[in-house]
Structure 1
Amino acid sequence: MTQAPAEPAVKDPDSRAKPGVMVAVLAFSGIVIASMQTLVIPVIPQLPTLLDAAPADTAWAVTATLLAATIVTPIVGRLADMYGKRRMLLGSLALMVIGSVIAALATSLAPLIAARVLQGLASGVIPLGISIMRDELPKERLGAATATMSSSLGVGAAFGMPAAALIADKADWHVLFWTSAGLGVIALALVAVVIPASKMHPGGRFDLIGATGLSAALVCLLLAISKGSDWGWSSGLALGLFSAAAVLLAAWGVFELRTGEPMVDLRTAARRPVLLTNLAAAAFGFAMFSIQLALPQLLQTPEATGYGLGKSMLVAGLAMAPQGLVMFFVAKPSAKISARYGAKVTLLLGALTVAVGYVIGVFLMAEIWQLILVSAIIGAGIGMAYGAIPTLIMGNVPASETAAANSLNVLIRGFGTTIASAIAGLILAGVTMTLGGHELPSQDAFRIVLGIGAAAALVAGALAALLPRQKPGVHAHH
Structure 2
Amino acid sequence: MTGAITTAPGRLARSPGPAHPALILVALATAGLVVSVQQTLVIPLLPQLMETFQVSVTAVTWVFTASLLAGAVATPLLSRFGDMYGKKRMILLAIAMLAVGSVVCALSQSLGVLIVGRAIQGVSVALIPLAIGTIRDAFPAHRVTTAIGVISATMGIGGTLGMIVTGLIADRTTSHAPVFLVAAGLAVAGLVLIALCAPDVGERAGGRPDYAGALLLAGWLVCLLLAISQGNAWGWTSPGLLGLAGAAAVLFVAWVLAEMRIRQPLVRLNLLVGPRSLSANLASMLLGFSMYAAFTLIAGFIQTPRDEFGYGLSGSVLDVGLYTLPSTVTMLGCSVLAGRMAGRMGPAFTLAIGSVFAGLSYLWLALSNAHAYDMLAFNAIQGVGFGIAYAALGTLAVEHVPMSESGIASGVNALVRTTGGSVAGAATAAVLAGQTMRGTTTPTLAAYELCFWIVAAGAGLAAVVAVVHGLYYRAAPVVPAS
Q: Which amino acid aligns with 1:381?
A: G
* Range that drifts further, 80-89 or 169-178: 169-178
Q: Which amino acid aligns with 2:350?
A: T
Q: Per-residue CA shift, 1:422-475, capped at 9, x if unaligned?
A: 0100111111223xx423111110110000011101111111121133489972
1:339 Cα deviation from its structure 2 partner: 0.7
Q: Per-residue CA shift, 1:109-146, capped at 9, x if unaligned?
A: 22211111110011111111111111111122211101
Query: C-alpha distance in 1, partners of 2:271/2:177?
Result: 44
Match of 1:386 in 2: 390
Q: Which amino acid aligns with 1:417?
A: G
Indicate if the aligned counterparts of 2:271 and 2:412 stay in contact, CA closer than 8 A. Answer: no
Matching of residue 266 in structure 1 with residue 266 in structure 2: no
* Range that drifts further, 460-469 or 446-455: 460-469
Match of 1:94 in 2: 96
Indicate if the aligned counterparts of 1:283 and 1:457 stay in contact, CA closer than 8 A. Answer: yes
Shift >4 Å, 4+ stretches: 3-7, 470-474
Residue 64 (structure 2) aligned to one of 62, 65, 88: 62
Q: Which amino acid aligns with 1:349?
A: I
Match of 1:216 in 2: 219
Query: C-alpha distance in 1, partners of 2:360/2:10?
Result: 48
Matching of residue 475 in structure 1 with residue 476 in structure 2: no
Identity %: 36
Match of 1:288 in 2: 291
Matching of residue 300 in structure 1 with residue 303 in structure 2: yes
| Aligned pairs (5 A) from 1:10-25 | 10=15, 12-13=16-17, 16-25=18-27
Matching of residue 150 in structure 1 with residue 152 in structure 2: yes
Query: C-alpha distance in 1, partners of 2:414/2:335?
Result: 18
Q: Which amino acid aligns with 1:290?
A: A
1:310 Cα deviation from its structure 2 partner: 1.4
Q: Which amino acid aligns with 1:75?
A: L
Matching of residue 34 in structure 1 with residue 49 in structure 2: no
1:165 Cα deviation from its structure 2 partner: 1.5
Secondary structure in structure 2 of the residue aligned to 1:432? coil
* Range that drifts further, 417-426 or 50-59: 50-59
Match of 1:190 in 2: 193
| Aligned pairs (5 A) from 1:58-457 | 58-171=60-173, 172-303=175-306, 304-434=308-438, 437-457=439-459
Q: Which amino acid aligns with 2:288?
A: G
Q: Which amino acid aligns with 1:39?
A: L
Indicate if the aligned counterparts of 2:134 and 2:202 stay in contact, CA closer than 8 A. Answer: no
- Give unpaired runs (5+ residues) of structure 1: none
Q: TM-score, normalised by structure 2?
A: 0.94
1:395 Cα deviation from its structure 2 partner: 1.2
* Range that drifts further, 228-237 or 289-298: 289-298
* Range that drifts further, 306-315 or 456-465: 306-315
Q: Per-residue CA shift, 1:386-445, capped at 9, x if unaligned?
A: 0011111221111110000000000000111100000100111111223xx423111110
Structure number with greater CO (CA < 8 Å, separation at least 6) is 2
Q: Which amino acid aligns with 2:381?
A: I
Query: C-alpha distance in 2, partners of 1:369/1:279?
Result: 33
Q: Which amino acid aligns with 2:331?
A: M
Residue 49 (structure 2) aligned to one of 28, 47, 50: 47
Query: C-alpha distance in 2, partners of 1:474/1:158?
Result: 35
Q: Which amino acid aligns with 2:458?
A: A
Query: C-alpha distance in 1, partners of 2:270/2:10?
Result: 24
1:198 Cα deviation from its structure 2 partner: 2.5
Indicate if the aligned counterparts of 2:202 and 2:403 stay in contact, CA closer than 8 A. Answer: no
Q: Per-residue CA shift, 1:196-243, capped at 9, x if unaligned?
A: 212421310111101100110000001111001111100101111111
Query: C-alpha distance in 1, partners of 2:348/2:132?
Result: 18
Q: TM-score, normalised by structure 1?
A: 0.94
Tell me: CA distance 1:259–1:431, structure 2 relative to 1, closer, same or farther (3 Å). Answer: same
Indicate if the aligned counterparts of 1:144 and 1:336 stay in contact, CA closer than 8 A. Answer: yes
Query: C-alpha distance in 1, partners of 2:50/2:445?
Result: 29
Query: C-alpha distance in 1, partners of 2:405/2:302?
Result: 43
Query: C-alpha distance in 1, partners of 2:156/2:445?
Result: 26
